[in-house]
Amino acid sequence: MTALDKPGFAAKARAGETIWTAGAFDALSAKLAEEAGFAAVMSTGFGVSASHLGAPDVELYTMTENLAVVRNMANALSVPLIADTDTGYGNAINVMRTVREFEQAGVAAMILEDQEVPKRCPAVANAVEILPIDEGSAKIRAAVEARRDPDTLIVARTDAFNEADGIARAKAYVAAGADLIQPISRGFQSFEALKRLRAACGVPLSLQILGWLESDLTPEQIEELAGLAVFPLVALMTATAAMRANLQALSQAHSTQGLPQQVAGLTAFKSFIGFDEVERQKAKFLVRELPASLALASDG
């Protein structure tokens, strides 16, 4: 499956054929997720905020800042990209522009949540402010109307902490045209609760494998419920732990000998990131040889 195979990606997700997905926070982590064998990649707003602003996920970045990161990720991938588009960055009219911009950037799906603007990450916030259900539904209707390709998936996320409210919202968002429903782990706290949501809303779920879902659910249980199954933060937390360990050791020893975490080899990394392909394209298209001084500089 390639990024251009949106019909196949959309059909699988809508049919509940689980697409296992890794979260990424920039183009490099997205490429590593694809290399690992994931069928799709999701941009995580939590990770984008942390890696690009060094700040928490409280919608501090703008739509265009997120779009720039997502566009680079889409350009680096040959598998579908699912974009975390937060609240759509405003009301239903803002959502329409958000959908068009991210669709043009090359994403295969967008996740829109029903919090008030600016949002707060429900994984860490004690409480969040939720839109009235009719306003949340209107934003989903606007997103569905704005997309130009019917195979661009609209995933409606409800941040309701209460199961009954979450089910009511899920049903309303499906009626508004949502392709999948994404609950938060705090709103549905058991496999049986997720099964009730899946039965009530009538479409597959998009599950972020965090909290109790990460520790308590088996892959088979997830596949019973989900069109999309995402591990959103493994890459971010892995990179953070590895860099922290090596940088702390480096600051003490002032030497790269004996670092606690393995470091990628430069030659292999240059090949992975595309230097070999650039050299092939240079040989194919550049009609003049680079001056020796510039060629030497480019080796650095």
| Cα distances (angstroms) measured from residue 147 to each of 45, 104, 120, 152, 157 | 21, 10, 26, 7, 17
3-state secondary structure of 128: coil
Residue 13: which of 25, 27, 24, 1 has the closest Cα?
1
Distance CA 259, CA 172 (A): 53
Q: Where are the domains of the chain?
A: 6-232, 264-300
Tell me the C-alpha distance between 161 and 89, whole Å: 22
Q: Which CATH superfamily is domain 6-232 in?
A: Phosphoenolpyruvate-binding domains (3.20.20.60)
Q: CB-based burial of residue 94 (10 Å sphere; 0-12 exposed, 13-18 middle, 19+ buried)? A: middle
Measured CA to CA, the distance from residue 136 to residue 278 in angstroms comes to: 46
- Looking at residue 59, its pLDDT comes to 86
Q: Calculate ∠ Cα 182-50-41, nearest 5°.
A: 45
Q: Are 88 and 138 in contact (CB under 8 A)?
A: no
Cα dihedral sign for 71, 20, 157, 149? positive
What pLDDT, on a 0 to 100 scale, did the predictor assign at position 1? 40
Q: Are 78 and 34 in contact (CB under 8 A)?
A: yes
Tens digit of pLDDT at every position of the chain (300 positions): 444 578 899 999 999 999 999 999 999 999 999 999 999 999 999 999 999 999 999 889 999 999 999 999 999 999 999 999 999 999 999 999 999 999 999 999 999 999 998 887 766 666 689 999 999 999 999 999 999 999 999 999 999 999 999 999 999 999 999 999 999 988 999 999 999 999 999 999 999 999 999 999 999 999 999 999 999 999 999 999 999 999 999 999 999 999 999 999 999 999 999 999 999 999 999 977 656 666 555 555
